Structure 1
Amino acid sequence: MKFTQFLKTKGAIGAIFMGIFYAVAMLGIFLPGYSAIPGNIDKLPIAIVNDDAGEYGAKIADQLQKKLPFKKIETDVTNKKALKDLEHNDLALVVHIPKTFSKNVQKGETPSSIDFTINEAGATTVSSSINSVITAINNQFSTQFSQQTAQGILMNVNVPKEQAAELAKKIETSYVGNVVKINEMPDGMNNNMLPMFLTMAGYTGAMIGAMQLVGVFKGSRGKASKTRLFCYVQLTALLVAVISSLAGTGIAYLINKPSGSLFFSVLGHQILNYMVCFNFTAILIFLVGEVGMIFNLPILLIQTLANGATLSRDMMYLPYKWMSYISPMYYSVQGYFADLYGSISASPYIWSMILVGAVAMLINIIIVAFIHKPIPVEESSTEADKLKNSTEPTI
């Protein structure tokens, strides 16, 4: 066989096609998706809550609206409501100007503090980007208030020497930007990425499992009815879900050591994640066979950006945002954030996963019922022997 003949074989052509296809798919999905960082940071919603009745509070609130690089800024919300929205990741930052801000600035008795509150139980890019913004703003305000305090003090030229140190301290501490973090995560990138890694482990295993089990389903046609084979596929997937989830959860606890009280919650979440992802990825395989894997992998790549572990939904470009609404990975990741690190219930995300899984299973049932042609069921040798024996004449 010549090399040119080898290149014309089905396997060689498939390898060439897949190499080009996935290079284009991966770079074409990841590069545009990640270009949203930091370009789309201005799309993050924040709230500025001014409880100060004095002039300084209003001025600071106005300056913050002009200086902060965000387009969605809520100002007509209470601090309690804003913090609640922050816990649900409906806001990325809450800036709170306290009641005594102007009073403290004017008297110079104590440092004037503004609270910048962020939620760490969410997309990693959001918390890191917000921290950078807060640092820049605090540096500007610290310089501004130090200058204002210095001007007020220097107007009094007859300052006794014994008060010089105290006045210098007032200038230095005239403004304090207090960064408050809720739902803090343990140190280590492995903790930040645990929700995504747990979800992807289940999704990838389910996608490969769907290809293999649907292949068995098609190869077993004629040996049992479509309904029975479909039930076998689902029962086998459930068995794999339990075994693989036990292994995955065990490794997560061995390395990350989350709270022991969450073990069964994480295990149940992982089993559900596998089953939902199994039916989600099985749709294309039931529909077009193994060729469906060509499309399943780009869909997986899109979801690695659309799952909300790195980017919040507000920062995503439209194709990724649309995918996040139908993606089982998005709801799984957000559910893990809430369960492992958050202070809110994971139930809304769990129910959303169940809905996605139920719709996916219904689509698979429709495909099997109406697209897969019925094949007569062959009688097993045992059943044939029984039938033969029952029809033989007795002597």
Structure 2
Amino acid sequence: MKSFLKHKGIASGIFMMVFYQVVMIVIFMSGYSAIPKNVDQLTVSIVNEDAQYGDEFVKQMQEQLPLKVIMDDSLDHAKKQLDDRSSHLLIHIPADFSQKLSEQGEQAKLEFFINQSNPASVVSTVQSVADQISNQMSSQLLAQSTQGALQSLNVPEEQSKQMTEAIQNKFAASIVMTNQPPAGMHNQMAPMFLTMSIYAAAMIYSMMSIGALNELKSKLGKWKAFMSLQGVNVLLSLILPLIGISIYFAVQGYGFETFVHMWLTQSLEMFAAIEFTSIFCILLGQAGMLVNLPILLSQTVSNGAVMPQDMMPGFFKAVSHVTPMFYNVQLVYNNLFGGGRTGYYVLGLALVAVGALVINTVIHAIKGGKSEAVQEAAEPSGTQQPPAAQPIMM
């Protein structure tokens, strides 16, 4: 037993077990503590077209809602903001809201719009808020004020209650769900798991591929080996994502166009992930995994599949801007369920890939040059050609 405990392999294994526990718990505890603490960072857009009761309703919302309230004059613009995930709940007060409340036989409707192409935590939160508004803030407040007015006119209490119930039936909340995913938790979690499967595979591959680069550059030459590896990376990024996508589409069928979009998106993510994780492997060798692992765990918080960017603590929000997983998760949401700003997310993912490739090129140039210089300086003098033998004088 002592022999095993003294072995370097066992010591390294113990270090990794401790390291993984510490890093994972610290990252997850600090990241997911934002739920529900930062729920007030979610945004609700209100489009008020009713100048009577609508204005009073808006004041109540601004005072009582646990979310950030922004006013929008255009329903179409507000719907686009919702589709782009810039807002998380849209409340529309129609122009005839007060009129229908006052007219007999009419029913006033308050419209709520929820974009379901979002993390499940966001959808459930804003749906709960919509239910709270419709049940407690709108119907109940209106009923109480009406009952008080009737009682002040000396209407009998029993009769005022009956009239209040009739008025309550005049109000209805219409909740419109947009970009609805197919049924099943596997569909709701698909953006996260499809993205993580690509990234984790790319991270492991990058460590092995950089090892191969270090072996072959002495044979092929520094730059020929590097450029050949980039060609292999592009080829693998185009082919290998088809495996995971095909498995998912076999379980949950989508159209051919969606399949192509997913293939291109996952291919771009794989290339970006290979280049991004290669930075630390080129720089640190196998020890680069000690950097890549915490970055992977950080992206499970910052990828936007569990909480939106608005709710993330500052560190994780910064990570989401400079790593591949956040952009790809949003693209998978758009491809599978619908959503806006696709061009922005494609550009962000492409910039991460290009930026990582440039960094790898610079590191390879500097580090490769130094290693070759050291190798040349270390060459034994015995490898030089011996001087020509002098003829022996007789």
Class of the TM-score when normalised by the shorter of the 2 chains: 0.7 to 0.9
Q: Is 1:370 the counterpart of 2:378 in the alignment?
A: no
1:217 to 204, 208, 213: 213
Tell me the equivalent position of 1:43: 41
The CA distance in 1 between the partners of 2:344 and 2:196, in whole Å, is 20
Q: Is 1:182 the counterpart of 2:178 in the alignment?
A: yes
Contact 2:110–2:172 under 8 Å retained in 1: yes
CA deviations on 1:127-179 (whole Å, 9 max, x unpaired) are: 11111111122221222223444556675859xx9xx99x5762341322221
CA deviations on 1:260-297 (whole Å, 9 max, x unpaired) are: 22111111111111111000000000001010011101
CA deviations on 1:46-67 (whole Å, 9 max, x unpaired) are: 222211021x111111111111
Cα offset for 1:89?
0.5
Q: For 2:270, give the aligned amino acid.
A: Y
The CA distance in 2 between the partners of 1:130 and 1:36, in whole Å, is 16
Q: For 1:362, give the aligned amino acid.
A: V
The CA distance in 2 between the partners of 1:204 and 1:293, in whole Å, is 11
Tell me the equivalent position of 2:311: 315
Contact 1:226–1:374 under 8 Å retained in 2: no
Tell me the equivalent position of 2:81: 85
Tell me the equivalent position of 2:26: 28
Q: So what's the TM-score if we normalise by structure 2? A: 0.88
Q: For 2:39, give the aligned amino acid.
A: I
Tell me the equivalent position of 1:272: 268
Q: How many residues align?
A: 369
Tell me the equivalent position of 2:114: 118
Tell me the equivalent position of 1:340: 336
Tell me the equivalent position of 2:143: 146
Q: Is 1:58 the counterpart of 2:47 in the alignment?
A: no
- Aligned with 1:351: secondary structure? helix
Tell me the equivalent position of 1:245: 241
Cα offset for 1:101?
1.1
2:355 to 349, 352, 359: 359
- Aligned with 1:309: secondary structure? coil
The CA distance in 2 between the partners of 1:293 and 1:108, in whole Å, is 70
The CA distance in 1 between the partners of 2:73 and 2:96, in whole Å, is 19
Change in 2 beyond 3 A, CA 1:20/1:343:
closer
The CA distance in 2 between the partners of 1:93 and 1:344, in whole Å, is 15
Contact 2:217–2:224 under 8 Å retained in 1: no
- Aligned with 2:307: secondary structure? coil
RMSD of aligned Cα (Å):
2.3
Tell me the equivalent position of 2:200: 204
Contact 1:217–1:229 under 8 Å retained in 2: yes
Q: Is 1:136 the counterpart of 2:139 in the alignment?
A: no
Please, which moves more after superposition, 347-356 or 314-323?
A: 347-356
Cα offset for 1:108?
4.2
- Aligned with 1:117: secondary structure? strand
Unpaired runs of at least 5, structure 2: 376-394
Tell me the equivalent position of 2:279: 283
The CA distance in 1 between the partners of 2:146 and 2:184, in whole Å, is 41
The CA distance in 2 between the partners of 1:77 and 1:319, in whole Å, is 34
Contact 1:40–1:315 under 8 Å retained in 2: yes
Change in 2 beyond 3 A, CA 1:13/1:310:
same
Tell me the equivalent position of 1:384: none
Cα offset for 1:343?
4.3
Change in 2 beyond 3 A, CA 1:26/1:300:
same
CA deviations on 1:201-225 (whole Å, 9 max, x unpaired) are: 1111110110010011112231111
- Aligned with 1:220: secondary structure? helix
Q: So what's the TM-score if we normalise by structure 1? A: 0.88
- Aligned with 2:219: secondary structure? coil
CA deviations on 1:227-284 (whole Å, 9 max, x unpaired) are: 1111222222233323321111101111121222211111111111111100000000
Q: For 2:261, give the aligned amino acid.
A: S
CA deviations on 1:88-147 (whole Å, 9 max, x unpaired) are: 011111111111111122224322211121111122211111111111222212222234
Identity %: 36
Unpaired runs of at least 5, structure 1: 378-395
Q: Is 1:299 the counterpart of 2:291 in the alignment?
A: no
Contact 1:94–1:118 under 8 Å retained in 2: yes
The CA distance in 2 between the partners of 1:245 and 1:60, in whole Å, is 50
Contact 2:299–2:325 under 8 Å retained in 1: yes
Q: For 1:279, give the aligned amino acid.
A: E
The CA distance in 1 between the partners of 2:169 and 2:214, in whole Å, is 74
Cα offset for 1:183?
1.1
Cα offset for 1:303?
0.5
The CA distance in 1 between the partners of 2:354 and 2:257, in whole Å, is 29
Change in 2 beyond 3 A, CA 1:152/1:235:
same
Q: Is 1:19 the counterpart of 2:17 in the alignment?
A: yes
Q: For 1:6, give the aligned amino acid.
A: F
Cα offset for 1:86?
0.8
Please, which moves more after superposition, 145-154 or 213-222?
A: 145-154
Contact 1:199–1:329 under 8 Å retained in 2: yes
